[in-house]
Structure 1
Amino acid sequence: MIEAAPAHYAHCEALLRERDRDLWLACLFAPPSARPHIHAVYAYALECADVRAKVSQPLLGEMRLRWWTDALTNDISEGTRAHPVADALLDTVARFALPVGELTELADAHVADLYDDQMPDTETLERYCRATVAGPMRWAGLILGASEMAAFDDAGLALGVTRVLRRPAGAHIPADLLAKHGADIHVNAAPLRAALGELRNMAESRYASARRSAGALVKGREALLPAATVPVYLERMARKDYDPLRGLTEPSPLRRQWRLWRAARGAGL
């Protein structure tokens, strides 16, 4: 096995610190030896999530995402190793025997971001959150030696749905849920708030389930920390001034950091 360049792991950490500071802070509670590998996993997730913002048309985005699946499944080339995130990720996958199929599912799931088609149902949204958000949390748990994955799956789904709710109502809101309430994603009225309220309940339920499962974890609780701020956002959604067309306002960095610190002293959530 050819080890990744240390500078490439440092690049992953810098990327995380710049683009998602809360996630970077959550990673600080992991043991130092595992931290660079967790950075690599999340840097990969960020690279795939950011593809839509970097391309002018969907086909170009699909090509970028295909590059990642090819890098994970084909023989490693010099070009792949020259990419700092890919180099660190492939080294991490080899060291910890991470499930390559799950990693490629993350890239494939982000193809949906490139188009404006409405998600057809809540089951599709759950699959999307499981692939794009729960997946990296599970891999971080494996890096930390966790053997039970239920807590990571539920925490990832709670965090994924919360991220959907943080944004202005759009294509990720399931069409079946909108139809059930007669809601329009362009109209801030009771039907839309009721539909989004169901998603909020889903996130709360998954978070509660994750907390119950977390208590049984012997190793890997630190990998749950990215979801520790979920209640902070869901509480803001329950406020009277919540406007689904504008999305959730950000809680103060201090409050988010305090929530992470408290969760780190407990079961990770």
Structure 2
Amino acid sequence: MAGTLDIVKNCDIVMEAVRAADHDRYLSALYAPADKRDALLALYAFNAEIGSVRDRIHEPLPGEVRLQWWRDVIAADGDAGTGHPTADALRATIAAYHLPKAAFENMLEARIFDLYDDPMPSRTNLEGYCGETAAALIQLAAMVLDPLAAPGFAEVAGRAGCAQAITGLLLLLPLHRRRGQCFVPADILAAAGTTPEEFVKEEGGAAAERAVAAMIALAREHLNAFEKGAAALPVSLRPAFLPLALTRAYLNRTETVRSPLSVTATLSILHRHWLLLRHAMRGWRPL
């Protein structure tokens, strides 16, 4: 494909950025065909960049300015470089694989929520956020790997993205609560008997634990639906969905840690490698 060899002029920089910021997706990209790997890493590096804006820029308005910079980079025509390795790699990837710019615009729009401390209003809003971030990233990766097969698995990507993103939010609960954020939807909190304010301030008690259990159940609901559809995934698309190989293990570990509200569940590197290898080889066929 024309332009593929130029996707990452500074491929080592982009690869190291993903390895440091999103090690699970970095490992999954290693299972992709060699000629598609740099494109996937460009997508994952972009996702890591916009997902960490709040960590690097602590005020909302400068954060929005940074997200707007990415909008301008993606919207720009021509081959002029930006001087930013990830931005240049992303633009080359979009051009080489004819990726829809609207998907990136929606992703950036969704990430504005990260910059503020507004509570997540409802489960529907949460699933929309997951769809425009994690699910969109999976679908874009699938388009890189096999543009003909990818559209047939858009619904599977949606379920996968919700399962993965909700699990990721559970893993980040301690961080989010320290900085006053609440991604647990207000309707789930209300059903559990608490509020976003109480949840963030560790005043929820048993109600907060019930809310976490509800989030785990929601992630499992989407994961089960994904795994049902994933049985039909072609081998060509498998690397795009490979990070989901870890999701069930992360959820299991979250349920067993002393307090997911203050302790982040982890998996050993050996366990992660084994799960990724197993699913890379056999997919999601029933055991």
TM-score by length of 2: 0.87
Matched, 1:193 2:215: no
- Give the alignment of 1:10-25 within 5 angstroms: 10-25=12-27
The alignment yields a C-alpha RMSD, in angstroms, of: 1.9
Distance in 1, Cα, partners of 2:141 & 2:81: 26
C-alpha contact (below 8 Å) 1:223/1:268 kept by paired residues: no
2:220 pairs with one of 204, 210, 230: 204
SS in 2 for 1:56: coil
C-alpha contact (below 8 Å) 1:26/1:260 kept by paired residues: yes
Q: CA deviation at 1:268?
A: 5.5
- Give the alignment of 1:1-269 within 5 angstroms: 4=6, 6-76=8-78, 78=80, 80=82, 82-145=83-146, 146-147=149-150, 148=152, 149-167=154-172, 168=174, 170-183=181-194, 184-185=198-199, 186-187=202-203, 189-218=205-234, 219-239=236-256, 241-267=257-283
Measured against aligned partners, the alpha-carbon deviations of 1:187-239 in whole angstroms (never above 9, x if no partner) come to 35221121221211111111111111112222301110112111111112222
Distance in 2, Cα, partners of 1:221 & 1:195: 32
Which one has the bigger helix percentage? 2
Distance in 1, Cα, partners of 2:188 & 2:78: 43
Paired residues, number? 267
Letter in 1 for 2:205: A
C-alpha contact (below 8 Å) 1:228/1:260 kept by paired residues: yes
CA gap 1:244/1:233 in 2 versus in 1, 3 angstroms: same
Distance in 2, Cα, partners of 1:2 & 1:215: 33
SS in 1 for 2:99: coil
Q: CA deviation at 1:242?
A: 3.4
Distance in 2, Cα, partners of 1:153 & 1:196: 22
Identity value in percent? 33
Letter in 2 for 1:210: F
